[in-house]
Structure 1
């Protein structure tokens, strides 16, 4: 079942954004002062031009006054431009830095989330948040921040300038303010839900794409490309539909803003006519008022237009912060460091027999179903002691991989408890080679490891030949854009990472299955080196691995059918013995 990561409420978004501001809040007053000074400088030009108009109408020394006022206007333009540039650059830098911090915190949180939590949400959701949503906010910042920081101050200062000319001009604009308020409120009622749905549709599309690309070989092998393409197409058209709804809401919003502009200009002209006709105002004052209003077109439209960008960015921020907040203390833990309800004693009273090894991993009554009413595991219980290797065998579909995933913490059981150490490593047959050099592929498991440590880990898993065949050794680029590694080499690399990480508990889910017959022995020896001295659960691809384990559990239709050592089960004449006999004949 898909269980998307949460969306953060507006208050949480504001709180996390505030936490991410570099250097704290003290930068904001300085930024406000710079932008306010730029806004004040911006009204000098229209006021000066209005004065020139009146001076020319009055005659006299208008030429000298015009030169002086022209110099004032030019100076105000330069000062305003410089201050505006400083303010906008500072604001963008401030919030870009905050976004970078949010992104890093989101990725850090995602990497520490319980694997089962990420699995339930779907990796497409997480990738969409780390990709599409971060890009949406990053693209919006250069548009939104200048508008929010500058336009509001410009509007207030300009209205104050109009009131200085004549309060009636300011009143004329305030009368049409309800039109702007109505336009914004109507937009805000409709837009947030549409943008949230658009982001969710993008996440679903990403999930379908990932599923298809990850299973591309299987899709091709079974000729099932058509249903996959149908799902991708349906998800893509869902994005288109929501995007078109968003564009429709935008167009209606812009139409209402254009109506407000028309009403504002008409109102100022009527007020100016009345004032000049009645001798209470001047043509220069009306000119200055109209220029100030025309100057407001940019800031008002910029401020209101970016409401669209702001809503989209806020929807994305809610998804980004939602990941940060997903590490909630009430969230079920992926790994348990606690003791089992029925722990094995780790001390002995005087005179008693030596204590049994303490159980490092305790699984109790594990039941799990991917589809309601069809459990794949039924009340499975088992203990794994420190330093003990437990092999799990059974037919395909017996529940082995599900048990391994629950033991490793990738899945959470529907019922039962799973207690395990905090440090757990899981290796499956599907391993990833990162697009970096060989050293980088190894040090991600142990960042402080030196070259000698890396070479020693490769040696222990029998991968000396890998380093020898690469022209630049540890410095050789591998992965998608580097030297390709064979499936067996990739498995050796994954097992070497486990040694470097040095976990207390290792889960190998058919980790040697990708090896051909010539590599099988080497990979099985590498697996033995990895589990040596640790608690380990091994889903055996070959029964030779079960023979080398301390104990063997045979699963049948999600239930434990047999449990014991290899020798005990082989001589018991049960299902394991028959399985061993069949495997021995075919080997």
Structure 2
């Protein structure tokens, strides 16, 4: 059953923003101060232009005009220098904050229980790590600094206008109700609209990812039309969501433009009348018109970035929501008194009311090698995940040494049992870094012993820089078989007592897989190994074989005994040998 990753509410976003502000109070103060000084320098230009017109009106000398012109040039240069340093400080602060946000988000993502990630699907998480991070990056780098600049400029310009003439500041109030009313109307509706847009984008990516990953299955089952219909539906929902946000903007911005034009017109009209009545000087009227015109730019910028900040706030809410994913472990007091792994009356369901495991009972002795075989879809991998503590049973108990796996802290659990599947990832970095993920304290000698244990040392030594070779996307490419060997080498370094191998050698050539498993048998002597595989050579080498069908263990025993019993396992064995 699909689960939705949570989204943080507005108070949580505001609390996080306040924490960021407190964390960077000093740099933020410097940014505001520099932009404030730049804004003050910009206010001098309209004032000097008003003085120039006033001087011409009353008659003045050429030297006085030249002095005003020189002052204009000086203040323009001062404003340019201050703006340059203010912009640099803003960019520097934005990059530092963004780096912290990304690091914290990675920590949150890595803390999500694997079972939750799989049930949520890849689309939502991929969208949060790509689109939402990119949108937040834009907001932090430009939106927040630009909004601060606009706010400081707006306050200082309004203050200068009131200082010049409170009477001439009154016409500005004409546009205030229009702008404030339009902004309130928009801001009440925008957050939900942008959340819907991002969620729709997640569904599109999730559907496309599923279609791509399951392309062969889709073709084999001839369900291409169904996948196309799903994609068309998701794209239509995204279109409707984006049309909704666009509709809000097409109403908001024309209203705001009216609010911009009216104060300028009112100042010109009333200023002229005030001048005729002798209530204001011409220099004051001219300067006031410049200031009102200058007010338009920061208000326009502030409202423009308010829209972008809505997008950024929505993305931040989705990123912070990852931290609200509940833990799938319930800490208990019991601690393992042995390495005996048991499953008692275990039932499990991916969808409510449809169990895929039905009352499974299984005991695995320390050091035993158990093979689980059966047809695809029988429940082998699901049972393996429960035995590895990835998921908890719906009912029943899976325990190690009497302690339920879901009650053990994750760090302690991985010291007892670990899972390796068919899917392996090679991270971008050196080969040494990839292997040391399992044991950061491991030195080169330990890493080489682990590689030797899985017969990977020869090809690693042939690499251009050995353990220092850069691998991963865009770097030295390793084959699927080599990637599996690296994953198994990580297990050797992690040193858990029990290993659950879910078809861990399925992509390797059968002869290589058999050789690899035999080499592992020597390294893992004394460990408990649960091997889930279609290839029955694993079962032949195991101490016992569990045959899983329809979510139940229908046969359990040594290979020879099961062959002699002439049941389901014997039929599988004969089919595999033929």
TM-score greater than 0.5 by the shorter chain: yes
Query: 1:553 aligns to what?
Result: 546
Change (3 A) 1:337 1:491: farther
- Give the alignment of 1:427-442 within 5 angstroms: 427-434=420-427, 438-442=431-435
Change (3 A) 1:486 1:86: closer
Alignment partners' CA distance in 1, 2:204 and 2:382: 27
Summarize deviations over 1:339-395 as a string: whole Å, max 9, x none.
Answer: 48xx7xx4xxxxxxxxxxx24544343222233433110122334454443332333
Matched, 1:500 2:493: yes
When the two chains are superposed, the root-mean-square deviation of aligned CA atoms in Å is 2.9
Among 447, 460, 480, the residue aligned to 1:467? 460
Query: 1:120 aligns to what?
Result: 119
Matched, 1:582 2:562: no
Matched, 1:95 2:94: yes
Change (3 A) 1:361 1:87: farther
Matched residue of 1:555: which SS?
A: strand
Question: Displacement, 1:48?
Answer: 1.6
Summarize deviations over 1:78-105 as a string: whole Å, max 9, x none.
Answer: 2223223323332232133212211111
Say whether the 8 Å CA contact 2:536–2:573 is kept in structure 1. no
- What TM-score do the two structures reach when normalised by structure 2? 0.89
Alignment partners' CA distance in 2, 1:488 and 1:336: 37
Change (3 A) 1:150 1:473: closer
Summarize deviations over 1:125-163 as a string: whole Å, max 9, x none.
Answer: 111111111111112334412332111121111111111
Query: 2:25 aligns to what?
Result: 25
- What TM-score do the two structures reach when normalised by structure 1? 0.87
Alignment partners' CA distance in 2, 1:141 and 1:577: 61
Query: 2:176 aligns to what?
Result: 177
Matched residue of 1:26: which SS?
A: helix
- Give the alignment of 1:366-445 within 5 angstroms: 366-418=346-398, 419-420=404-405, 421-423=412-414, 424-434=417-427, 438-445=431-438
Query: 1:10 aligns to what?
Result: 10
Say whether the 8 Å CA contact 2:150–2:301 is kept in structure 1. yes
Question: Displacement, 1:166?
Answer: 1.5
Is the deviation greater in 173-182 or in 418-427? 418-427
Say whether the 8 Å CA contact 2:498–2:528 is kept in structure 1. yes
Query: 1:253 aligns to what?
Result: 252
Change (3 A) 1:128 1:568: same
Say whether the 8 Å CA contact 1:103–1:320 is kept in structure 2. no
Change (3 A) 1:160 1:505: same
Change (3 A) 1:22 1:124: farther
Query: 1:110 aligns to what?
Result: 109
Question: Displacement, 1:323?
Answer: 1.6
Question: Displacement, 1:426?
Answer: 1.9
Matched residue of 2:413: which SS?
A: coil
Matched residue of 1:43: which SS?
A: helix
Alignment partners' CA distance in 1, 2:317 and 2:278: 56
Say whether the 8 Å CA contact 1:54–1:283 is kept in structure 2. yes
Change (3 A) 1:265 1:483: closer
Change (3 A) 1:142 1:396: closer
Matched residue of 1:541: which SS?
A: coil
Query: 1:349 aligns to what?
Result: none
Query: 2:401 aligns to what?
Result: none
Change (3 A) 1:178 1:363: farther
Change (3 A) 1:261 1:464: closer
Matched, 1:332 2:310: no
Matched residue of 2:185: which SS?
A: helix
Residue-pair matches, total: 565
Matched, 1:209 2:208: yes
Alignment partners' CA distance in 2, 1:219 and 1:137: 36
Q: Which runs of 5+ in 2 are unaligned?
A: 399-403, 406-411
Say whether the 8 Å CA contact 2:347–2:396 is kept in structure 1. yes
Change (3 A) 1:364 1:92: farther
Q: Which runs of 5+ in 1 are unaligned?
A: 347-357
Alignment partners' CA distance in 2, 1:71 and 1:364: 90
Alignment partners' CA distance in 1, 2:119 and 2:199: 15
Change (3 A) 1:165 1:18: closer
Query: 2:241 aligns to what?
Result: 242
Is the deviation greater in 267-276 or in 414-423? 414-423
Question: Displacement, 1:23?
Answer: 5.6
Summarize deviations over 1:493-544 as a string: whole Å, max 9, x none.
Answer: 2211211222343211122223333223213214425643334332243344
Say whether the 8 Å CA contact 1:512–1:541 is kept in structure 2. no
Change (3 A) 1:488 1:142: closer
Alignment partners' CA distance in 1, 2:232 and 2:523: 44
Matched residue of 2:347: which SS?
A: strand
Is the deviation greater in 86-95 or in 299-308? 86-95
Change (3 A) 1:471 1:32: closer
Query: 1:511 aligns to what?
Result: 504
Matched, 1:154 2:153: yes
Change (3 A) 1:434 1:223: farther
Change (3 A) 1:6 1:292: same
Change (3 A) 1:20 1:406: farther
Is the deviation greater in 476-485 or in 497-506? 476-485
Alignment partners' CA distance in 1, 2:485 and 2:58: 93
